[in-house]
Amino acid sequence: MAQKLWEKNVQVDREVEAFTVGRDREMDIYLAKYDVLGSMAHITMLESIGLLARDELTQLLAELKKIYKLADEGKFMIEDGVEDVHSEVELLLTRSLGDTGKKIHSGRSRNDQVLLDLKLYTRSQIREVTDAVSELTATLLSQSERYKDVLLPGYTHLQIAMPSSFGLWFGAYAESLVDDLQLLQAAYKVTNRNPLGSAAGYGSSFPLDRQLTTDLLGFDSMDYNVVYAQMGRGKMERTVSFALAGIAATLSKLAYDACMFNSQNFGFIKLPDQFTTGSSIMPHKKNPDVFELTRAKCNKIQGLPQQITLISNNLPSGYFRDLQIIKEIFLPSFDELKNCIRMANYMLSEVRVNEHILDDLKYAPIFSVEEVNRRVLSGVPFRDAYKQVGLEIEAGNFVPDKAIHHTHEGSIGNLCNDAIAALLQQVVTGFTFEKAVDAERKLLAE
């Protein structure tokens, strides 16, 4: 059985070990690639300050690249008896290189090591989420332009209210996602700071070059204060989870609309039959299960900030094992959200729109405000025009004029989709993902 990194002469009780390790080994598979990248940067720095010989660095980097390849291909495994990803990487290096493999931990703790892994993983996942949201936003804007002249009723209090359009409906969710990316960008900036060198939260007596590892890994800066670097665990995850929850909230609302609009009572949209599921007893059923599951999954993600807060909110400074549990709810959330975004994009790119919704006479009252405004423009005081039209509706004499002439920014006749697309591009560019990607590529190439 492999010895743990911290183990001396006394072995921990098996039940205690099982309880304390929990699902950590399973969660650490998410972090394997990033643990290797962090180790590559760390040992490059150790060589620069004289704690590793040049030939040792060369050997270690070559072996670490092999381990990275295993992790990148999904073949990395944490063996039975090995506590975590850090222990497995060090074990593999020691098997290949003997005592040289035991030197990679100088000047760091598993505390700053896992902090680093979490940050590298999270910034990579933020980039993937941003790409997925950008694709969905582009689809929504495309559909907004395609159906910009197709009207549908707008609602307040679930009562028919005023004319809307599919141009507005699709475009509204596009702009909402752009705002969600603004918050995600702020979370990225909090994430993209280097904790390596903070060790167990109190630094090291070795003359570590923290700026070098910051540059090698493409961080915007380091977490300067070593105590704060350790305090950032839990805080970073909570901050990012609020941004993920914002995206999830937009998707959940969109999914609710899609389910409602797809029902026979509304009949505003129709999903292709192959995008729906059936019933074991009712042969006519075509259920929008994808949107229902999207709604549920996204509502679950919206609870993530509260879960993380409840785990970490009453901890003083310093490291505590409580923080381990955050990985179990945080790391898988990215894949769940990305799957929801991907499926929403797939469904909305193929949805069919009812182009004759307002032919139904029950929607005639939504044109009442248009009539009031027409009378105001002809010189009737607003309050008088309002009363006249209201009385006509009550008497059953109201005849709607369905010609819509909205021209102001963001209205039916002036969607501002170009401005929303430009804002999307501005926000995405503001992430500066290229810096991190280039740094990681160089590290693996050297």
Q: In which domain, by residue range, is 422 found?
A: 110-358+416-445
- The residue among 72, 103, 134 that closes a domain is 103
H helix runs in 396-432, sequence order: 417-430
82: in domain: yes
Q: What is the pTM of this model?
A: 0.93
Same domain, 115 and 98: no
Active site residue 279: yes
3-state secondary structure of 49: coil
Total length of the chain: 446
Cα distance between residue 108 and residue 197, in whole Å = 6
Same domain, 348 and 367: no
Q: What single DSSP character describes residue 198? A: -
CA 234, chain centre distance (Å) = 17
3-state secondary structure of 413: coil
Same domain, 429 and 282: yes
- CA 271, 272, 277, 282 dihedral sign is positive
Same domain, 172 and 183: yes
- The residue among 74, 103, 132 that closes a domain is 103
The predicted-structure confidence for 388-410, as pLDDT tens digits, reads as follows: 999 999 999 999 999 888 999 99
Cα distance between residue 354 and residue 247, in whole Å = 27
Question: What contacts 282, CB < 8 A, 6 or more positions away?
Answer: none
Q: What is the CATH number of the domain that holds 281?
A: 1.20.200.10
Number of compact structural domains in the chain: 3
Nearest to 223 by CA among 207, 234, 210, 204: 210
302: in domain: yes
Question: What contacts 171, CB < 8 A, 6 or more positions away?
Answer: 140, 141, 144, 415, 416, 417, 420
10 Å Cβ neighbour count for 387? Answer: 13
**pLDDT under 50: residue ranges of the chain:** 1, 6
Active site residue 378: no
Same domain, 353 and 366: no
Question: What contacts 135, CB < 8 A, 6 or more positions away?
Answer: 341, 345
Same domain, 97 and 127: no
Same domain, 59 and 183: no
Q: Assess contact for 113 and 35: CB atoms under 8 A.
A: yes
3-state secondary structure of 111: helix
Same domain, 330 and 398: no
Same domain, 153 and 68: no
Cα distance between residue 446 and residue 440, in whole Å = 10
**Tokens representing 95?**
């098997």
131: part of which helix (H) or strand (E)?
Answer: helix 110-146
3-state secondary structure of 358: helix
The predicted-structure confidence for 87-137, as pLDDT tens digits, reads as follows: 999 999 999 999 999 999 999 999 999 999 999 999 999 999 999 999 999
Same domain, 235 and 309: yes
Same domain, 72 and 141: no
Given the residues 221, 263, 279, 317, the one annotated as active site: 279
- The residue among 57, 77, 103 that closes a domain is 103
3-state secondary structure of 336: helix
9: in domain: no
Give the up-direction half-sphere exposure of residue 247: CA atoms within 13 A in the CB hemisphere. 32
Backbone phi, psi, residue 287, to 5°: -90, 140
Please report, for residues 96, 251, 274, 286, the alpha-carbon distance to residue 255 in angstroms, rounded to integers and kept in the order given.
Answer: 52, 6, 18, 16
**E strands, 238-388, in order:** 269-270, 352-353
Nearest to 431 by CA among 128, 223, 139, 135: 128
26: in domain: yes
